[in-house]
Amino acid sequence: KALQFTSKESIEKHGADVILNKYKSLKTDYTLVKASSSKSGSQTTLRYTTNEFATSKYKDFVVVVENDSCKLVLPNNLDDFLK
């Protein structure tokens, strides 16, 4: 189901199996608080703050709208996702 919220561009670039494995490996047991958003062309960057291991960090999510749904655009290097 996670792939339905992933951009077509990202799926074509990385492949569905690689993306699903990345999603399964993510540690997401922290709270996100929206800090800001900015738009560049068809992409919107959503910036969230989190307190991870007692350290305040930013997490950026790039999204696009495809078929009336918000879809996540993954970075070229999947290891950079949610760093």
d(CA 55, CA 32): 13
Q: Which residue has the higher pLDDT, 28 or 42?
A: 42
Q: What is the pLDDT of residues 40-83, one digit of tens each?
A: 999 999 999 998 777 889 999 999 999 999 999 999 999 998 87
pLDDT of residue 26: 87
d(CA 18, CA 11): 9
Determine the distance from the C-alpha atom of residue 12 to the mean position of all C-alpha atoms in its chain, rounded to a whole number: 16
